Amino acid sequence: EEGADIIDVGGESTRPGSAPIPLEEEMSRVVPALRAIRRETDLPLSVDTYKYEVAGAALDEGADIINDIWGLKQEPRLADLAAGCGAGMVLMSNQRDVSPMHDVVFDDIARVVADDLARATQEAMQRGVPADRLIIDPGIGFGKTQPQNIELLARLRELRSLNFPLLVGTSRKSVLGYLLDVPASERLEATAATVALAIDRGADIVRVHDVKEMRRVCIVADAVVRGRADAAG
């Protein structure tokens, strides 16, 4: 009702410091939610999971997209699932496997992310997912230091050379708290700033919590950046 184009459903928190949950628990959260949402809307549904079994059950319930925060590093078979049923994939660049505590300093974070996303998309295509069903996500907040997150946002245009739609998720994230020293509940304006900046730097999709407010930001940013003055319609 507030204007979302895609609804992303996840059953396990992936914020820094969060603990993994058992497969059965994630399944019990995700499947009923997807089933209920699908009854109410024809919007594309995305399932945010890196577990093969959860993704398969979600696709059976009508999910259209697998959103893999590990970019096939933990479970490459997710690409097989997507290929087999014609689903889309969001592939994120996640450095938590080498920088779980954000203490690795990469010489060139944008290059690290670009190379990681090139690997992930190549593997997905080799497993049968068509290029036009792939979306890339730089993974703001996933295994990067806060200065690296800021640098990556500033250099998003460099990821356009990969020639895939670019999804950016900054909503309420800790990098905003790092800049403003405010809790997640007070990061609306900061989120709006990063959404507008991401669009200016080539983002095609933004993942947000505050849909109504961020849709308005998108309409204005699109009008300026892409000449889409009719976006509100």
Q: Which residues are catalytic?
A: 173, 207
Element (H, E) at 27: helix 23-40
Query: For residues 96 and 142, what is the distance between their CA atoms, to the nearest angstrom?
Result: 6
CB 38 within 8 A of CB 57: no
Please, what is the angle between helix 109-126 and helix 77-85, to 10°? 50
Closest CA relative to residue 139, chosen from 202, 82, 191, 90: 90
Query: For residues 156 and 158, what is the distance between their CA atoms, to the nearest angstrom?
Result: 5
Name 205's bridge partners: 167
Query: For residues 72 and 68, what is the distance between their CA atoms, to the nearest angstrom?
Result: 7
Grouping H, G, I as helix, E, B as strand and the rest as coil, residue 20 is: coil
